Amino acid sequence: MIERIHPARRARVRRSTGRGGATSGRVAVAIVVVIATAISTVTATALAQPCAHAGDLAAARQARERIAAAGGVVWPGWNDPAPVLLRSGSGDCLVDHPDPPAGFELVGPGVQRRDGHLLPVPAATAWPVNDVWSVAIPAQDELQAFLDEHLGAGAVEIDAALYERAIVHEAFHAFQMTLLGGPDAVPTMGAERPGETLAALSDDAAAAAAHDAIGAALSAALDAGTADEALAALTDVIERRDAWWARAPAGVPGMERHLEWLEGTARYADVLIGVGAGGADVSTAAWRDLREQVAQPTAIVSGLRDRYAAFGAAQAFVLDRWAPGWKARALPGGTSLDALIRSLASDLAGS
């Protein structure tokens, strides 16, 4: 959906959130603007050079508050919300960073600003800001303009709630990078050049047909009410996936495992975070969007990467239901969601 970059390598063009993330569905929820008090304390200089829109700052703070309240429930160890770097106009705004880099000046409580940009291009990503993995994201109106330009006007509409979810999604990526030690430590799962493999698959009709079939099987797994129903659905998922991988271009199985793990866990987090933080309305809408995307993956307008995010999140929710305790094996353990699903199916078959 938007350029995603890492300092060690350029990884993709994508939407965010929940990677993940931004989806083709709209999320209807009001964000409480918590910055009114802060604005009253801003200096005259800061008012002459405003630090992003009040709504963007409120979204950053609200996302961080949700993570502080429920991150450890969503994923063990996700207790400290990442700082947020907002790209706004000609400058960057840094929210709640413990040690801002040189050049940033205080313009409000916990908010720093500098002219120019730390990232070379607009990006929704995780980025090390003075050695602290942080969320980097354009201001909401700039993100919307980028999407309108590249996907078509109105193809993806970023409302306040979806923008907040995008921040949560990237905050989970910052957690991944902090826990693993950076992008070079992200498990490849057999993916040698995932960006190139992904690009080559973008208009592949066989991939589209296979993904629609896999999405239908994953939908059945999410709906399963008994262990027998879960086993039947997961067996279907595995058989359809194996049939696709047997005829897919070289590199596809590893790329799909890698992106489902990387993006799917972040999408899972941005869907789930609202429930634990007392905002079930957020997660209800996010869950609805996810279910629609899993059922119709080829209708996701923001591209293949978000298709894998949806598939990965679906597998994570299935694992939640039938294999509690799976998360440590995935992160930091580095086991693919596909491998965990196969293990679950084996366990269900033997029970």
161 and 237 assigned to the same domain: no
Query: What's the pLDDT at 2?
Result: 43
Identify which of 306, 323, 299 has the alpha carbon closest to the alpha carbon of residue 221: 323
Distance (Å, whole) CA 71 – CA 53? 26
Residue 102, Cβ density class (10 Å: 0-12 exposed, 13-18 middle, ≥19 buried): exposed
Q: In this structure, which amino acid lies at residue 65? A: E
Q: What is the domain count for the chain?
A: 2
**Quick one: tokens of 67?**
């993570």
Residues 225 and 247 in one domain: yes
Ramachandran region, residue 135 (left: φ > 0; alpha: ψ -120 to 50; beta: rest): beta
> Is residue 158 located within the same domain as residue 210?
no
Residue (of 65, 56, 6) closest to 33 by Cα position: 56
Looking at the structure, do residues 129 and 203 belong to the same domain, yes or no? Answer: no
Q: What is the DSSP code string of 254-301?
A: HHHHHHHHHHHHHHHHHHHHHHHTT-HHHHHHHHHHHHHHHHSGGG-T
User: For each of the chain's 351 residues, which pLDDT tens digit applies?
Assistant: 444 544 333 333 333 333 333 333 332 222 222 222 222 333 333 333 467 788 999 999 999 999 999 999 999 999 999 999 999 999 999 999 999 999 999 999 999 999 999 998 898 999 999 999 999 999 999 999 999 998 899 899 999 999 999 999 999 999 999 999 999 999 999 998 999 999 999 889 999 999 999 999 999 999 999 999 999 999 999 999 999 999 999 999 999 999 999 999 999 999 999 877 777 766 788 999 999 999 999 999 998 999 999 999 999 999 999 999 999 999 999 999 999 999 999 999 997
Per the CB < 8 A criterion, the answer to whether 198 and 12 are in contact is yes
125/238 same-domain check: no
pLDDT at residue 33, as a whole number: 23
200 and 331, same structural domain? Answer: yes
For residue 282, the model assigns a pLDDT of 65
Specify whether 153 is located in the same domain as 291: no
Q: Examine the fold and report which residue of 146, 166, 185 is the final residue of a domain before the chain moves on.
A: 185
Q: Are residues 143 and 282 in the same domain?
A: no
Q: Which of 167, 185, 203 is the last residue of a domain?
A: 185
**92 shares a domain with 205:** no
Tokens matching residue 76:
């063990």
Specify whether 323 is located in the same domain as 238: yes
7 and 69 inside one domain = yes
- Domain-terminating residue out of 185, 219, 252: 185
Structural element, H or E, at residue 31? none
The answer to whether residues 160 and 123 belong to one domain is yes
- Overall residue count recorded for the chain in this entry: 351
Give me 312's structure tokens: 């990965």
For residue 173, the model assigns a pLDDT of 98
State which amino acid sits at residue 266: A
Strand-pair partners of 135: 84, 126
264 in Cβ contact with 311 (< 8 Å): yes
Global pTM reads 0.86
**Which residue range is the domain that position 333 belongs to?**
194-350
Nearest-angstrom CA–CA distance, 86 and 88: 6
